[in-house]
Amino acid sequence: MKARVCMLHNLCIWRGGAERLILSLSRELKRLGYEVDIIVLRYDRARCFPEFGEIKVTGLSRIFQSRIFSATPPLQALELALRIPKGYDIIHAHNFPADVAAFLATKLKRSYIDTPYLWQCNEPPRIIYDQDEIYRYYEQAKRLALLKRARALLGLRMMHTTSKPLDKLAVENASVVTTLSRFVADRIKETYGRHARVLNPGVDLRIFHPYVEGKAVRRKYGIGGAPLLLTVSRLWPAKNIETALKAFRIVLEDFPSAVYIIAGEGPSARTLQALAYKLRVGDRVRFISDAEADSLAEFYAACNVFVFPALSEPWGLGTLEAMACGKPVVAAKDGGLPEMINDKHDGILVEPRDLRSYAEAILHLLDDQSLARAIGEKAAIKAKAYTWESMAKTYSKIYDQLLQP
């Protein structure tokens, strides 16, 4: 058995990219001989990729439901730090506030004083440093009921008054900082003045590949042979799905039978559903929960075009999965996506906020099926370059370096 690794994350309660990353990486590290445990504040096995059942995930928090606690990241980090069991050789922290928890553990717990900790920053702490994201968060909070609005704004204030100093201390003291794209590495350099090593996430080619059948999805939702657009994403302001909805309205002018499936959950769900009906496309849009989209590969296989309009997206695992299934992708020319997609070769990149740019690209692919097929075939070849095995082997080398005397 190699080293014992403690993976730290704040939540594993839904099927998001960060959760798939931590679970997939842990699985591959276990195959390499590491003893890996994932420790989080809250865990919901049924909702968070039940296929990873062999990975030990411990949800610790007894007070996470408290409104004051959930609005105060330093308190979350403190509980996480104090309740890490003894005996781990490496602490591998994912995102914020897990980095603060790793830092506190090495300062407050004698058993971890000499234990190296690695910070894997899957995305910059947007709500602390990104002014655009802060504005989007604030605008969404203003639409909430009074008590929920107060809680959201309290959380935002706590982020800035108590979290920034601890976050910067945590990053400064980390033994190694890694991230998943050059885009995020540049943000880390700007924010913290630290170099971050780029390790691109992978895709499980045993699950996501061009030979998956999508007929069952089309039958279930009564789509038949109609054009189908698909977005798989957390429903969050930065995902910019409202722009894709507005573009879909234009698509319907040429393809009135088209259907748009949006698979995922999150705080923007009701806002997006209301927008769909305001745009008078509600009868052509299907909002699918995580539980309904249990076999994501079949949804990718069913669609004609995968649409991913996220702003400043760190990487985009859903995009990579769609590409692995041989689907043409229309994505925002922003964040880490241009590192994954070669425009007009294995996908199409468009202006992030220009709805007509999305509509034109989608219509071009629906009009020219041979082009869509060619782009999808090249996308599937591109996706093969990204594997979880490769990522895990690189982390194994980093662990070895950290554990040298």
pTM: 0.90
Q: Which amino acid is at 166?
A: L
Specify the CATH architecture of the domain 215-383. 3-Layer(aba) Sandwich (3.40)
> What is the spatial order of strands in the sheet that 285-288 belongs to?
285-288, 259-263, 228-232, 305-308, 329-332, 348-350
Q: CA 288 → CA 161, 231, 397, distances in Å? A: 37, 10, 40
Domain 4-202+387-403 class, CATH top level = alpha beta
Q: Which amino acid is at 389?
A: E
CA distance 18 to 201: 10
Kind and range of the H or E run holding 391: helix 388-403
Residue by residue, pLDDT tens for the chain (405 residues) are: 689 999 998 877 677 888 889 999 999 999 999 999 998 887 777 777 776 677 777 776 555 555 555 557 788 888 888 888 889 999 999 988 899 999 999 998 888 888 999 999 987 776 677 666 666 666 666 666 776 667 666 666 666 667 788 899 999 999 999 999 999 999 999 999 999 999 999 999 999 999 999 999 999 999 999 999 999 999 988 899 999 999 999 999 999 999 999 999 988 999 999 999 999 999 999 999 988 887 899 999 999 999 999 999 999 999 999 999 999 999 999 999 999 999 999 999 999 999 999 999 999 999 999 999 999 999 999 999 999 999 999 999 999 999 987
Instruction: Read off the tokens for 336.
Output: 């880490």
Residues in a beta bridge with 36: 5
* Residue extents of the structural domains in the chain: 4-202+387-403, 215-383
Q: CA 125 → CA 25, 133, 177, 226, distances in Å? A: 21, 10, 14, 40
Please report the pLDDT score of residue 160 as a whole number: 64
In the block, residue with structure tokens 């689907």: 327
Max CA separation in the chain (angstroms): 66
Q: Rg of the Cα trace of the chain?
A: 21
CA distance 226 to 374: 20
CA distance 130 to 121: 15
CA distance 305 to 187: 30
Phi/psi of residue 255, nearest 5 degrees: -130, 75
Residues in a beta bridge with 48: none
Report whether 320 contacts 347 (CB < 8 A). Answer: no
Q: CA 242 → CA 205, 235, 355, distances in Å? A: 31, 10, 9
Report whether 81 contacts 170 (CB < 8 A). Answer: no
- As a residue count, the chain comes to 405
CA distance 65 to 58: 17
CB neighbours (10 Å) of residue 46?
Answer: 9
